[in-house]
């Protein structure tokens, strides 16, 4: 009997190991569909967050990563504190410069690592081997991941998923035994802490650990006894969370949740809705995420104001469908917990991992973003793989053929989707096709046209953007520049002031107003605009540089020199600022 028990335990251990062959196959699946994305450039937010971010310029400025929020500026003025992901970009900037290839390569490798950890975690929980590997294989290739993997700023999603799965796996290894394995436990806590400072939704880790313990193969140990034995180590997972909340509360001014008023309605129209209606729309959008993951039609990098149909009342069919759909998924998870634990685990992970970013409990900075589906999709795909494995009368050959077809179709669609992220031109053109009613898409098209000197095209798109969303302050500011270029100085100044009326703390708005006033010959008004802008943004390089140039042009070289000195301090000694100081000093009276 002892020999039989030992044999069974050994066989279970073998099933729980990923194995070299399976690992190599999954890694290839994760890498191959994204190879054409390696030659893409920096697109959209990649430019400001990574390529042109002055905080990442050199090791001497590393402290700024930890004293500013994600988008730049004092911590107290922001909503997001994500120093870890910024630090990864900084290290790459210091070592490989601004060549986009290494950044894309790092993302693809992170995706491959996450795929392997997903498979390893499912197997360590005792889930059936074949559907677990199938779930990881599907996760490796689904097209909805293109935004997270091929878009450089999607790295935060990759890192959070990788670290959450790593922490969950280390927790299993640390607590599966008569004694706590301290090294593995410390690794679990460390990975969780790093994940939290990568992006906020890593807070789901304790729930992921608990879900795994509730649905795993208990290996003969009663569930209640196992939960009691692991209660203290599980409670220790709250320590990294407490550190994160304390740091955010101290420096950012909020614990886990930023105030909804801090978000702009253009990015998330749900912010303006009452909580019940916002939550109803959030549930409806969860079903949309599920649909886009499994049937990747109409994928888009923008879903801002007017780009999505929303429920306008609680009796709206969308609101009802969202509620009924999520209840059905939850019910299926509960009913399948005993006989189909992989299905229950997958649905629980899908719903739970989406909870912080669903807009259901509280509003976030975006209404819908495909990159947010990265970790939750692992759960959805695990549930699908579990359901297919349980199909009655379906032969092993049929299931393998079905998986092969799905992998080939998804991989081909991913290769095609990667091409959209090749440049801003391709990305913004795709947005106009996918979401023509998006004010942001229209603004992006106008911005590109402005860069090419096509003022007529820029004006047309800006007017459409403002018609769709009249409070689009960036569109008003750019319209001011377009009008000034066309010689319509009165209209230009009016547009710039409208931008600032909507958002008085817009750095771009103050910069635009100063520029159009100067081009209209109203130098006093331009100087006043720069002073007002610098009062709000004293470390704004664009405002400092324009003020330095304006003061020098007005013959006030000493004041210009002082402004350029400030700019040098802010930029860390950029050549442009040193040259500006040199010109001012040469013009100053001795």
pLDDT tens for residues 58-73? 898 899 898 888 887 7
pLDDT digits (tens, 9 = 90+) for 327-363: 999 999 999 999 999 999 999 999 999 999 999 999 9
Does 121 fall in a domain? yes
pTM, full prediction: 0.90
* Residue at token pair 């939550």: 279
Over residues 448-492, the pLDDT tens digits come to: 999 999 999 999 999 999 999 999 999 999 999 999 999 999 999
540: left (phi over 0), alpha (psi -120 to 50) or beta: beta
pLDDT at 3 over 50: no
Question: Which residues, 6+ apart, have CB-to-CB distance to 475 below 8 Å?
Answer: 439, 442, 443, 446, 462, 465, 466, 469
Residue 219 has pLDDT above 70, yes or no: no
Residue 462 near residue 475 (C-beta atoms within 8 A): yes
Query: Range of 399's domain?
Result: 18-256+266-420
Reduce the secondary structure of 139-208 to three states and give it as a string. HHHCHHHHHHHHCHHHHHHHHHHHHHHHHHHHHHHHHCCCCCCHHHHHHHHHHHHHHHCCCHHHHHHHHH
pLDDT tens digit sequence for 543-578: 999 999 999 999 999 999 999 999 998 887 888 999
Confidence of residue 260 (pLDDT cuts 50, 70, 90): very low
Mean pLDDT across the stretch 235-256? 85
Cα–Cα distance measured from residue 392 to residue 394, given in angstroms and rounded to the nearest whole number? 5
What is the Cα–Cα distance from 505 to 105, expressed in whole angstroms? Answer: 37
pLDDT for the residue 408 = 97
Structural domain contains residue 521: no
User: Does 13 fall in a domain?
Assistant: no
Whether residue 548 is contained in a domain is answered as no
Strand partners, 68: 74
Which range of 3-7, 116-120, 574-578 scores highest in mean pLDDT? It is 116-120
95 within some domain:
yes
Distance CA 156, CA 369 (A): 13
Q: Does residue 168 lie in a domain region?
A: yes
User: In the numeric block, which tokens belong to residue 241?
Assistant: 């969370």
Question: Using an 8 Å Cβ cutoff, are 299 and 292 in contact?
Answer: yes
Q: What is the dihedral of CA 312, 317, 320, 326, to 10 degrees?
A: -100
State mean pLDDT over 106-128. Answer: 97
In angstroms, what CA-CA distances link 498 with 272, 293, 505, 546, 573? 21, 40, 13, 21, 35
- Distance between CA atoms of residues 367 and 358, nearest Å: 8
How sure is the predictor about 392, in pLDDT bands with cuts at 50, 70 and 90?
A: confident
Count of structural domains, the chain: 1
**74 pLDDT higher than 80:** no
Q: Is residue 487 assigned to a domain?
A: no
Contact 565, 577 (CB under 8 A): no
- Residue whose token pair is 């005993």: 338
Confirm if 462 and 499 have CB atoms less than 8 A apart: no
Chain position carrying tokens 């790093």: 194
Check if the beta carbon of residue 346 is closer than 8 Å to that of residue 382: yes
User: Could you give the CA distance from residue 227 to residue 420 in angstroms, rounded to a whole number?
Assistant: 47
In a domain, residue 50? The reply is yes
Average pLDDT, the chain: 91
Contact (CB, 8 A) for 566 and 530? no
| pLDDT at 258 > cutoff 80 | no
């Amino acid at each position: 009997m002892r020999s039989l028990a030992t044999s069974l335990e050994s066989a279970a251990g073998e099933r729980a190991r990923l194995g070299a062959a399976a690992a190599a196959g999954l890694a290839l699946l994760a890498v191959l569909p994204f190879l054409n994305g390696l030659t893409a450039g920096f697109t959209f937010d990649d430019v400001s967050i990574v390529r042109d971010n002055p905080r990442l310029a050199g090791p001497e400025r590393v402290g700024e990563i930890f004293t500013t929020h994600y988008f730049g500026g004092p911590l107290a003025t922001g909503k997001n504190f994500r120093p870890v992901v910024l630090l990864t970009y900084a290290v790459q900037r210091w070592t490989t410069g601004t060549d986009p290839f290494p950044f894309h390569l790092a993302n693809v490798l992170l995706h491959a690592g996450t795929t392997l950890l997903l498979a390893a975690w499912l197997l360590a929980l005792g889930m059936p081997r074949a559907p677990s590997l199938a779930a990881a294989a599907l996760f490796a290739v689904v097209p909805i991941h293109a935004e997270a993997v091929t878009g450089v700023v999607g790295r935060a999603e990759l890192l959070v998923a990788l670290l959450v799965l790593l922490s969950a796996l280390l927790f299993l290894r640390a607590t599966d035994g008569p004694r706590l394995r301290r090294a593995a436990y410390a690794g679990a806590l460390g990975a969780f802490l790093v994940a939290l400072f990568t992006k906020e939704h890593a807070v789901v880790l304790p729930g992921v650990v608990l879900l795994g313990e509730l649905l795993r193969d208990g290996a003969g140990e009663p569930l209640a006894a196992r939960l009691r034995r692991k209660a203290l180590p599980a409670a220790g997972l709250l320590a990294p969370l407490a550190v994160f909340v304390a740091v955010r509360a101290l420096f950012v001014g909020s614990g886990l949740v930023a105030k909804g008023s801090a978000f702009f309605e253009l990015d998330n129209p749900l912010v303006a809705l009452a909580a019940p209606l916002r939550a109803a729309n959030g549930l409806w959008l969860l079903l949309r995420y599920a649909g886009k993951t499994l049937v990747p039609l109409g994928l888009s990098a923008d879903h801002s104001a007017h780009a999505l149909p929303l429920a306008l009342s609680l009796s709206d069919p969308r609101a009802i469908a969202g509620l009924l759909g999520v209840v059905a998924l939850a019910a299926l998870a509960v009913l399948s917990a005993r006989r189909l634990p992989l299905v229950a685990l997958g649905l629980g992970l899908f719903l739970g991992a989406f909870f912080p970013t669903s807009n259901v409990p509280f509003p976030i900075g975006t209404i819908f973003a495909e990159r947010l589906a990265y970790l939750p999709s692992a759960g959805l795909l695990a549930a699908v793989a579990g359901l297919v494995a349980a199909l009655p009368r379906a032969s092993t050959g049929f299931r393998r053929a079905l998986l092969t077809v799905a992998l080939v179709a998804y991989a081909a669609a991913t290769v095609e989707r990667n091409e959209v992220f090749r440049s801003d031109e391709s990305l913004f053109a795709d947005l106009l096709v996918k979401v023509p009613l998006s004010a942001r898409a229209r603004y992006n098209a106008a911005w590109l046209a402005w860069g090419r000197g096509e003022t007529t095209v820029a004006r047309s798109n800006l007017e459409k953007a403002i018609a769709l969303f009249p409070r689009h302050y960036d569109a008003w500011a750019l319209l001011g520049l377009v009008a000034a270029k066309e010689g319509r100085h009165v209209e230009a100044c009016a547009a710039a002031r409208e931008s600032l009326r909507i958002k008085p703390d817009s750095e771009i708005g103050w910069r635009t107003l100063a520029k159009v006033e100067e081009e209209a010959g109203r130098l006093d008004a331009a100087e006043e605009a720069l002073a007002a802008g610098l009062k709000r943004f004293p470390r704004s390089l664009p405002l400092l540089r324009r003020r330095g140039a304006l003061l020098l042009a007005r013959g006030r070289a000493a004041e210009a020199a002082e402004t350029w000195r400030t700019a040098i301090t802010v930029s860390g000694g950029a050549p442009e600022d040193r040259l500006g100081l040199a010109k001012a000093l040469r013009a100053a009276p001795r």
